Amino acid sequence: MSETKEIVRIARTGIDGTKPVEEALKGLTGVGELYGNAIAHDLDLKGQKIGDLSDEKIEEIEEEIKNPEVPSWLLNRRKDRETGEDGHLIESDLELKQEFDIRRLKEIDTYRGWRHKLGLPVRGQKTKSSFRTGSKVGVDTAAIKEDAAPGGE
């Protein structure tokens, strides 16, 4: 048996080869704990270190991630707007699709689009004490003191 590979390339990303398959797959953007466990279970690789697997097995994992045989509720792109199909996106594909979705919301002037434009929370969180960064924080006391000073203006 060959020695363990330190880094394994999956979906153009290097992941830690010393971890078990289900845990190592969490290193990919768009793959969480449940999805990683489902992939490892489908391929019967639970508990095996991903660095010990052959190149064929790694290609099989990559193909399973792109075309999974898991329940639709486990996918991150259900009923896609263009195709109407269920799918799962990872890495740069996921980030690009999210960017396009947010851009579409901004263009059609939805409430969520406006919140994205203003840099405010989109999902109904309270904003009195949270999300206070940048120009949204407090009062400019220096300008008030300058105006209040005798002969200031």
Which pair of tokens denotes residue 108?
């059609």
> Do 16 and 55 reside in the same domain of the chain?
yes
> Do 106 and 64 reside in the same domain of the chain?
no
Contact 28, 22 (CB under 8 A): no
* Residue 54 maps to a domain: yes
> Do 69 and 127 reside in the same domain of the chain?
no
> Do 55 and 30 reside in the same domain of the chain?
yes
Of the residues 40, 74, 108, which one is the last residue of a structural domain? Answer: 74
Q: What is the CATH number of the domain that holds 47?
A: 1.10.8.50
**Which residues on adjacent β-strands are paired with residue 98?**
none
* Residue 85 maps to a domain: no
Q: How much is the pTM?
A: 0.69
Q: What is the CATH number of the domain that holds 136?
A: 4.10.910
* Residue 83 maps to a domain: no
> Do 47 and 101 reside in the same domain of the chain?
no
pLDDT in tens, 25-68: 888 888 889 998 998 888 888 888 888 888 898 899 888 888 88
Range of the domain at 98: 91-148
pLDDT in tens, the chain (153 residues): 567 788 888 888 888 888 888 888 888 888 889 998 998 888 888 888 888 888 898 899 888 888 888 888 988 888 888 888 888 888 888 899 989 999 999 999 899 998 898 888 888 888 887 877 766 566 667 777 777 777 655
If you average pLDDT over every residue of the chain, what do you get? 84
Of the residues 17, 47, 74, which one is the last residue of a structural domain? Answer: 74
Element (DSSP H or E) covering residue 144: helix 141-148
Domain count, the chain: 2
Which pair of tokens denotes residue 147?
């105006």
- Residue 27: CB partners within 8 Å, gap ≥ 6? 13, 15, 16
> Do 67 and 11 reside in the same domain of the chain?
yes
